[in-house]
Structure 1
Amino acid sequence: MNPLLQRLQPYPFERLRQLFSGVVPPAQLRSISLGMGEPRHPTPAFITQILVSNLTGLSNYPATAGEPRLREAFAGWLARRYQVQLDHMTQVLPINGSREALFAIAQTVVDASRPEPVVVCPNPFYQIYEGAALLAGATPWYAPSDPERNFAVDWDSVPADVWQRTQLLYVCSPGNPTGAVMPLAEWEKLFALSDAHGFVIASDECYSEIYFQGAPPLGGLEAAAQLGRSDFRNLLAFTSLSKRSNVPGLRSGFVAGDAALIKDFLLYRTYHGGAMSPPVQAASIAAWGDEDHVVANRQMYRDKFEAVTPLLAPVLDVALPDAGFYLWARIPDALGLSDTQFARALQAQYNVTVLPGSYLAREAQGANPGAQRIRMALVAPTSECVEAAQRIVQFVQSLSSKPTS
């Protein structure tokens, strides 16, 4: 067996299953899960219809590069959304959801024969970044987010010698779990570091279409274009239809950016077996070409956040994020519970599932930036999210009313 597999940590939801072992929630309370970030809004009917009507395509082997019409759809959406122009033949590729491609890009980019290769990522972070780095033979370095700066990642905390050994940098904007959006100045800093040290930037942007106020979140390609980097040197942006169009089971997205990196990634994916099936390609073309369903989806999330956040704010340190569908809340120290204790007790007493923040981060530089926080995914119907919030309020109030010893 590959010895690097032994370096992988249990996935957060496996740890959550172990945490809840032996817990028997009250039978009279229906189970409400805010734990998993799985979209639960209905899939738009037109996407399903196009998928089904193209099932004859299953008789054909798909090309890894995808049909030209599909790549045109990617480039067209990027032009409309970010005002950037990309060559659909050389600068975009279909991927089977952003997750598999974010993993695969590390296997393509990292040269484990070089001394002590490093992959830098935010902390907290999407667990795929860590696993991808470890299985590529690199060491992850975790850059903490700063609550005092709207959870902006403290890239300045990364030592110079780490940047010198860095081969790949994962960024996530809007962030998971914080919802923070990277401003142009932050992109400019990272581009300068990439130029100085030659590392690739993999920009995870799968939450880009769920936002609540002001302008749409700035994307990596958009930032590069605004800074005069029209060749998107050493930059790849990853996105998918899962959150945007409520089709997580479709496993459809794309990667776009530096043509030289796209060429090498296509070679890797050809051997890896990363082709998208013809029916999924047809459905994806339609989905990327329609914005009405995206606007409606965004409004459903906006309604939920407007209903839930004011309920929770009096009992938890929580505020409306820049974007995404998570609330990243801090547990008051006065309650005397860790994030794992809070999650287990909430499950046991009120049958509401939340994810401990420490499961989404690693202890690094002497601290785990996810400790004492919980992630709540507002993916259930509004009524369920409101009921879950009301139960959480009752839970916290019951703890606050207990006499101290």
Structure 2
Amino acid sequence: MAFPERFSNLPDYAFPRLRKLLDAHPPGGAPIAMTIGEPRHAMPDFVGPILAANLSGFAVYPPNDGTPELLAAIAGWIARRYGVAVAEDRLMVLNGTREGLFNACIALCPEQKNGQKPVVLMPNPFYQVYAVAALTVGADPVYVPATAANGFLPDYGSLPRDVLDRVAVAYICSPANPQGAVASKEYLADLLVLAEKHDFKVLADECYSEIWRETPPSGLLQVAAQQGADPERAVVFHSLSKRSNLPGLRSGFVAAGPQSMLRIRQLRAFAGAPLPLPLQRVAEACWQDEAHVTASRAQYQQKFRDADQIFAGVQGYQAPEGGFFLWLPVEDGEAAALKLWRETGVRVLPGGYLSRDAGGQTGVANPGKGYIRVALVAAQEETQRGLTLLRDCIYG
């Protein structure tokens, strides 16, 4: 029986791979989970009442692109957050942004670019859906190192011109998963200029945009509007998973230029899974409320301060600008994760599981191999205890 070969080189996904590494060994203490980016702060208190009031909505097919009320709430949030007016026909509700990041590449990446196989750029380390999207459309994924040397943001402009001329799509994540780096307005402006010069689209994953230490991160829509960029260059993704502590709601949105959105919506009409109507009503309320976001962000900011204190003096420690992960340097990520589990019960993710060995493309081997990713999602006291155990075990 024949199966497609385009996915044959995919490694195991990060978390099954982690279970293979750790689960054969007993934990060295009461387990503390610091692996997955699953927020555990309280979800908004209005979720239950709204859901209960709209249960009858499960009896009907939901609007494919989003209810008018939800699209208006999203447009209103974009205007308040970024000062940009986005028409509702340039928005589409997503059943989780992973769906959108995958399907937008399918909808927008051409079969050829300048008569050649297209290229999809992505930072390395990266959210794994970027790579599988590139393989699905038959493009060459190019993994561009995002390391301490370049501020943990990929330098796409340094790639050879023959590569850039084949680029159809470039993914960017800010605040970055896993490193927490934030792309400045200048970085995003330069990326849009590069996209115009070499005729490609930027798919900006901004799912962590509302979790920051000191200053709200700039957004690609904001920068594109300020410099008068072609709106078709920017395709932007946001989520309620991190912002509103609702990963199980599976609700996000994509914003794009009118021609891009026509193609994204068309693909959704044929093959998408729209968000159930009661969940759209909940999402509408979430985008209209900032109080719960502010309260949750304050908890993360306190955990950032705790981490700074716990890791003070640890060589190579860098406090993240945004997101809720620590990206901690170690000699070997797998060895450190296994040692930590066996000796303390603290469970973290080896950085190499989020990146690829792309030495043949960039001259840089797996840039995540010497790191572990630590999620600061648990309650403050548990997070403090886990970080202290980690410090004493790995850096003591």
Task: Give the TM bin, normalised by the shorter chain.
Answer: over 0.9
Partner letter of residue 356 of structure 1?
Answer: P
Aligned residues: 388
Q: How many Å separate the matches in 2 of 1:108 and 1:201?
A: 14
The alpha-carbon distance between structure 1 residues 168 and 397, as it changes in their structure 2 partners (threshold 3 A), is closer
Please report the TM-score for the alignment, with normalisation by the length of structure 2: 0.94
- CA shift digits 1:54-75 (9 cap, x unpaired): 1101111112111111111110
Contact 1:329–1:374 at 8 Å: present in 2 too?
A: yes
Contact 1:311–1:389 at 8 Å: present in 2 too?
A: yes
Q: How does 1:328-367 map to 2 (within 5 A)?
A: 328-331=327-330, 337-364=331-358, 365-367=363-365
Range moving further from structure 2, 181-190 or 117-126: 181-190
SS at match of 1:141: strand
Q: How does 1:55-134 map to 2 (within 5 A)?
A: 55-88=55-88, 90-113=89-112, 115-134=116-135
Q: Tell me what 1:245 maps to.
A: 244
Q: Tell me what 1:392 maps to.
A: 390
SS at match of 2:7: helix
SS at match of 1:125: coil
Q: How many Å separate the matches in 1 of 2:183 and 2:388?
A: 32
Q: How many Å separate the matches in 2 of 1:156 and 1:70?
A: 37
Q: How does 1:276-355 map to 2 (within 5 A)?
A: 276-315=275-314, 317-331=316-330, 337-355=331-349
Q: How many Å separate the matches in 1 of 2:191 and 2:150?
A: 17
Cα RMSD for the two superposed structures = 1.5
- CA shift digits 1:160-190 (9 cap, x unpaired): 1111111111000111011111112212221
Q: How many Å separate the matches in 2 of 1:122 and 1:152?
A: 7
Contact 2:34–2:346 at 8 Å: present in 1 too?
A: yes
Q: Tell me what 1:50 maps to.
A: 50
Contact 1:8–1:134 at 8 Å: present in 2 too?
A: no
**Aligned pair 1:368/2:350, yes or no?**
no
SS at match of 2:146: strand
Q: How many Å separate the matches in 2 of 1:246 and 1:342?
A: 29
1:149 to partner: Cα distance: 4.2
Q: How many Å separate the matches in 2 of 1:345 and 1:309?
A: 23
Contact 2:145–2:364 at 8 Å: present in 1 too?
A: no
* Structure 1 residue runs without a partner (length 5+): 332-336, 399-405
SS at match of 1:3: coil
Q: Tell me what 2:198 maps to.
A: 197
1:397 to partner: Cα distance: 5.0
Q: How many Å separate the matches in 1 of 2:199 and 2:356?
A: 26
Q: How many Å separate the matches in 2 of 1:7 and 1:396?
A: 32
Q: How many Å separate the matches in 2 of 1:41 and 1:356?
A: 24
Contact 1:25–1:347 at 8 Å: present in 2 too?
A: yes
1:25 to partner: Cα distance: 1.4
1:241 to partner: Cα distance: 0.4
Q: How does 1:104-253 map to 2 (within 5 A)?
A: 104-113=103-112, 115-213=116-214, 215-229=215-229, 232-253=231-252
Contact 2:107–2:267 at 8 Å: present in 1 too?
A: yes
The alpha-carbon distance between structure 1 residues 316 and 51, as it changes in their structure 2 partners (threshold 3 A), is farther
Contact 1:315–1:396 at 8 Å: present in 2 too?
A: no
Contact 1:238–1:256 at 8 Å: present in 2 too?
A: yes
Contact 2:123–2:153 at 8 Å: present in 1 too?
A: no
SS at match of 1:7: coil
- CA shift digits 1:346-401 (9 cap, x unpaired): 11111101111111111122322112111111001111111111111221355xxx
Q: Tell me what 2:27 maps to.
A: 25
Q: How many Å separate the matches in 2 of 1:325 and 1:81?
A: 20
Contact 1:212–1:302 at 8 Å: present in 2 too?
A: yes
Q: How many Å separate the matches in 1 of 2:300 and 2:258?
A: 35
Contact 2:157–2:194 at 8 Å: present in 1 too?
A: no
Q: How many Å separate the matches in 2 of 1:146 and 1:156?
A: 15
Q: How many Å separate the matches in 2 of 1:6 and 1:101?
A: 23
* Structure 2 residue runs without a partner (length 5+): none
The alpha-carbon distance between structure 1 residues 397 and 133, as it changes in their structure 2 partners (threshold 3 A), is closer
Q: How many Å separate the matches in 2 of 1:382 and 1:308?
A: 10
Q: 1:15 aligns with which of 9, 14, 17?
A: 17
Contact 1:146–1:154 at 8 Å: present in 2 too?
A: no
Range moving further from structure 2, 198-207 or 7-16: 7-16
1:146 to partner: Cα distance: 3.4
Q: How many Å separate the matches in 2 of 1:270 and 1:171?
A: 26
Q: How many Å separate the matches in 2 of 1:99 and 1:354?
A: 22
Q: How many Å separate the matches in 1 of 2:312 and 2:156?
A: 29
Q: How many Å separate the matches in 1 of 2:109 and 2:326?
A: 33
Q: How many Å separate the matches in 1 of 2:158 and 2:11?
A: 24
Q: How many Å separate the matches in 2 of 1:125 and 1:209?
A: 19
1:207 to partner: Cα distance: 0.1
Q: Tell me what 1:6 maps to.
A: 8
Contact 2:200–2:233 at 8 Å: present in 1 too?
A: yes
Partner letter of residue 43 of structure 1?
Answer: M
Q: How many Å separate the matches in 1 of 2:191 and 2:379?
A: 38
* Aligned-pair identity (%): 40
